[in-house]
Amino acid sequence: MWAHRMFLLTGEAEYMEQFERTLYNAVLAGVGLDGESFFYVNPLASRGGHHRSAWFACACCPPNVLRFVGGLGQYVYATRGSTIYLNLYAGGSAKVTVNGHVVTIDQETSYPFDGHVKLTVKHDAPVPIVLAYRMPRSAEIDAGVSADGYVRRTLDRGTTEHEFIVPLPVRRVVADPRVKAAVGRVALTRGPLVYAAESIDNPGAGGSVAGLILPPDAELEERIAADGTPEILAKAIRVASTGGAETATEVLYRDAPSTTPVVVVLRPYFMWANRGPSEMSVWLPETAHLGEPLPAPGISASASFIGHGDGVPALFDRIEPAASNDHDVARFTFWSHKGTAEWVRYEFARPRTVSAVEVYWFDDTGRGECRVPAGWTVEYLDAEEWKPVANSSPASPVVNGVAKDRFNVCGFAPVVTGSVRVNVQQEERFSSGILEMRVR
C-alpha cells in the first residue's frame, strides 16, 4: 500500500515493481493454495518444521490478506490526465474514466507464469488517450521504455487491440552485503517471482536441500511442469560428505566436503509448503564451505508434542546458536504447551555407544513464553524398556543443568542403545524449547 501511494505521488514504475514483488512473494506465500491455511512468517529456509495453520487465536493478518486480495482490482490501473497507467498484469475487465469518458479494457494474460499480454481497449473520447504499461527494469531501454519505467501507446477513438511481451528473465540475484546471513549466497528469480528449492522436488539431493550448492557457472534451464508451473532447473552440486566428522565440534581440522553433480529443481517460492512436509531454501551458497552443515547422520527424531518452531529437524541440524535467545537459527519448541511433562527422542540408524547428551535450551525471555525447563532427565532404550542413565559413580546422582547460552551436558556411564530420550519438565506457566541437542 505504501508502494502504491508512492507511485501515485511520483508516477514512477519502480514503486509498483516493489508492490508486485511483495504481492507475489510475501502476500501469496502467507496463504496456502487451498486458501484456508496461513503463515504468520515467510521463512527463506526451512528444515521441514514450518507448516501453515488453519487459523490463529488472534487472527489479524489472515483477514487483512483476504481484504487486500479482494480489493486487488484497485491497484491494476491508475489515471493522470489523459493517461491510463497499467501497473499489474492480471486477466479481467475494467472500466476506467478518463476526462469524463469511460474506457473499457479487457486484459488476457497468464502472467506471471507467462509474459504474453493481450489488451482490447474501447473508448469514445473525442481525443486520443495514452496507455502506459509498466515494464520491468530488466527490459531494454531501446524497446520504448521511458525513464519512468513505462511504455506509452496512443490509442484513437474506437476499439484497439494491442499485444506485447513482458520479459521474464531468469536472474541470479545477491543481497546487500550488510545482510550477513546471505553473504556468499545467491537466489534465482524469474520476472517478479522468487524461486525456492524444496526437498520434495529434489529426491536426487538425498532428501535434503541443506547440502545444495549453486556455483557461479551453474547452467540454468526453464521448463513447464506437468501442473503448468514454470520451473528452473540448475546444474548444481551437493555435498556428498562432510569429511567424516560426526559433529562440527568433533575435530578442529578435517577433509574438505566432497561434492557430486545434481540437477536442482526450483519452483516459485509462494507455492512452497503445499504438498506436505518439505525442506526449503531460497538462498543457496555458491561454494561448499559456505553451506550449512548437513544434519547429524544416522539420527531421526520424534517428540511428545511439536509446537511452533522448525520442528524436530532443528534438534540435530548441527547449527550452533549464538545464545539461548538466538532467533536466527532453527529451533524446536513445545509451545503452546505450558508446565507439562514432555519428551524428545533420538533414534539411531544402528545401535551406538552413548555416554553423554548435550542440550542447548531456547529461552526468549522478554519476547515470548519459552524458558529453560525446571529439570530434565535422560533415558535409554534397553530392548523394549526405557531405563534411566546412571552416573559412572553410583553414589553421585546425575544432575542436569538448565543454564542459558551454552550446552548443558549430561554425562553418564556408557550404554549401547538404539535410542535415547530426554524427558523435560517445563516450568509452571511457561513452555520450553531446544536449539540444538547432541549425543556422544
- The grid coordinates of residue 352 equal 551406538
Q: Is the pLDDT of residue 363 over 80?
A: yes
Any domain includes 64: no
Pick the residue with more confidence: 392 or 326?
Answer: 326
pLDDT of residue 218: 96
The listed range with the strongest mean pLDDT (255-269, 278-292, 358-372) is 358-372
- Residues 6 or more apart from 252 whose CB is under 8 A from it? none
Any domain includes 46: no
Q: Is the pTM of this model over 0.85?
A: no
- The grid coordinates of residue 16 equal 509498483
C-alpha to C-alpha distances, 269 to 195, 208, 266, 337, nearest whole angstrom = 5, 17, 8, 31
Q: Containing domain of residue 157, as a range?
A: 76-165
Over pLDDT 90: what percentage of the chain? 72
Q: Are residues 118 and 174 in the same domain?
A: no
pLDDT of residue 223: 97
Q: Are residues 242 and 362 in the same domain?
A: no
Mean pLDDT of 49-61: 81
Q: Are residues 203 and 138 in the same domain?
A: no
Any domain includes 31: no
Q: Are residues 233 and 145 in the same domain?
A: no
pLDDT digit string, tens, across residues 123-139: 999 999 999 999 987 65
pLDDT digit string, tens, across residues 277-321: 889 999 999 998 776 677 788 999 999 999 988 889 899 988 899
Any domain includes 257: yes
Q: CB–CB of 271/229 below 8 Å?
A: yes
List 198's β-bridge partners, or say none. Answer: 280
Q: Are residues 428 and 310 in the same domain?
A: yes
Burial (CB < 10 A; 0-12, 13-18, 19+), residue 215, is middle
Domain boundary among 290, 313, 335: 290
Q: Are residues 279 and 376 in the same domain?
A: no
Give the closest residue to 217 by CA, choosing from 239, 234, 197. 234
pLDDT of residue 248: 47
Any domain includes 365: yes
CATH number for the domain that contains residue 371? 2.60.120.260
- The single residue listed with the C-alpha cell 518452531 is 309
Q: Are residues 153 and 107 in the same domain?
A: yes
Domain boundary among 260, 290, 320: 290
- Confidence tier at 392 by pLDDT (50, 70, 90): low
Q: Are residues 275 and 338 in the same domain?
A: no
Name the domain count of the chain: 3
Across the chain, mean pLDDT equals 90
CATH number for the domain that contains residue 147? 2.60.420
Q: Are residues 270 and 368 in the same domain?
A: no
Mean pLDDT of 169-191: 95
Cα distance between residue 342 and residue 175, in whole Å: 40
Q: Is the pLDDT of residue 246 over 60?
A: no
pLDDT of residue 244: 46
Cα distance between residue 209 and residue 38, in whole Å: 23
Any domain includes 34: no
Q: Are residues 319 and 393 in the same domain?
A: yes
The edge-to-edge listing of strands for the beta sheet with 101-109 is 92-98, 101-109, 116-123, 158-165
pLDDT digit string, tens, across residues 321-331: 999 999 888 89
Burial (CB < 10 A; 0-12, 13-18, 19+), residue 238, is buried
Domain boundary among 258, 290, 322: 290
pLDDT of residue 318: 87
Buried b (16+ CB within 10 A) or exposed e, 50-62: bebeeeeeeeeeb
Any domain includes 103: yes
Q: Are residues 107 and 223 in the same domain?
A: no
Buried b (16+ CB within 10 A) or exposed e, 356-381: ebbbbbbbbeeebebbbbeebbbbbb
Q: Are residues 345 and 243 in the same domain?
A: no
Hey, which bits of 99-229 come out as E strands? 101-109, 116-123, 129-134, 150-155, 158-165, 170-173, 185-190, 193-198, 212-213, 220-224
3-state SS track over 27-52: HHHHECCCCCCECCCCCCEECCCCCC
Whether the CA torsion 331, 248, 44, 404 is positive or negative: it is positive
Q: Is the pLDDT of residue 142 over 70?
A: no
Any domain includes 13: no
